[in-house]
Amino acid sequence: MDEWPFDLWLKYAVKALGLSPSEFWAMSISDWLCLSAHDGGRVLTRQHLEHLMQIFPDKALK
């Protein structure tokens, strides 16, 4: 890649993801690439949800 397409990324961040320009510019390249990567339409499975619920249980309300 000869140049980084920051102008296109900024447009995508603001228009498609709803980020403000300052939020985009505060982001690291690594974070941006992770956020904007297409993951092939992966979904949260029931098994994964249950695993997350075990790891991060809801706190009881008082």
Listed by start position, the domains of the chain span 6-55
In DSSP notation, 3-49 reads: S--HHHHHHHHHHTT---HHHHHHS-HHHHHHHH---SS----HHHH
pTM over 0.85: no
How confident is the model at residue 4, as a pLDDT?
Answer: 84
Residue-level pLDDT, tens digit, the chain, 62 residues: 568 889 999 999 999 889 999 999 999 999 988 888 876 666 678 888 899 899 998 887 66
How confident is the model at residue 62, as a pLDDT?
Answer: 67
